[in-house]
Structure 1
Amino acid sequence: MWLPILFLVIGLSLGLLTDLQIPAAYSDYLSIAVLAAFDTLLGGIRAHLERKFDEVVFITGFFFNVALAALLAFLGVQLGVDLYLAAVFAFGVRLFQNIAIIRRIIIDQNLLVKLRKK
């Protein structure tokens, strides 16, 4: 569980402490990278709660997701089609699914704790 939180803290720290300006031409790529990062982070949290977390899967999943999404965006720019929207849609769906599953796991764990106390 510590690895997703570590990368979240590192990323937030770098983002807040630097005055990095991203050109508007790269905004599509950045949006996909952020969605891929959140997808991987929430997937790692979900895997930890399900007791299935694997650091290798977490790290490789992050880089593979970002690379694939960037490739889609690049191909879309070359073809003149907004292909990055496919990645945005896919990551968006996965984000909401992971959040729903995490919420369900937390609710179930809290209910079990309350039932054990009775």
Structure 2
Amino acid sequence: MFYVLAGLAAGICAGLYFPVYIPPEYGKMLSVALMAALDTAFGGIRSSMEGSYDNTVFITGFFTNAVLAAFLCYVGMILGIDLYLVGILIFGMRIFQNLAAIRHLFLKK
């Protein structure tokens, strides 16, 4: 747990002292990528708490979510449709489902 908190503190400090400018045209893609990463992270936490964590499943899920998010953004940009909203909606629902399951598992202990 110490390493997690130390990494979080180091990340926050690095973000404050070395700000990164992201162009507005990449904002949509970044938002979907962030949602995909959060979905995978909370899914990994949930499976770890359930005792069914598998690193292979976690890594393949991470890359599958990333490819799906990139594909939705790319196709949406080609068609001129805001398909990134679909990615945000789907990944957002999955995040809330995982958070609810984590909360239930945490309260059972």
Coarse TM-score class (shorter-chain normalised): 0.7 to 0.9
Can you give the 5+ residue segments of structure 1 that lack an aligned partner in the other structure? Answer: 110-118
SS of match in other structure, 2:103:
helix
**In the aligned structure 2, how far is the partner of 1:58 from the partner of 1:10?**
24
TM-superposed CA distance for 1:100, in Å, is: 0.3
Instruction: Please give the root-mean-square deviation of Cα atoms over the aligned residues, in Å.
Output: 2.5
Q: Find the counterpart in structure 2 of residue 60 from structure 1.
A: 60
Shift of 1:67: 1.3
Over 3 Å counting, the alpha-carbon distance change for 1:89 and 1:39 in structure 2 is same
Which residue of structure 2 lines up, in the alignment, with residue 26 of structure 1? 26
The alignment-based identity, stated in percent, is 46
TM-score, scaled to structure 1: 0.79
Structure 1 match to 2:92? 92
Question: CA deviation digits over 1:27-64, x for unaligned, max 9?
Answer: 00000011011101100000000001011111111111
Q: How many residues align?
A: 107
TM-score (norm. length: structure 2): 0.85
Amino acid at match of 1:45: I
Amino acid of the structure 2 residue aligned with 1:18: F
Bigger Cα Rg: 1
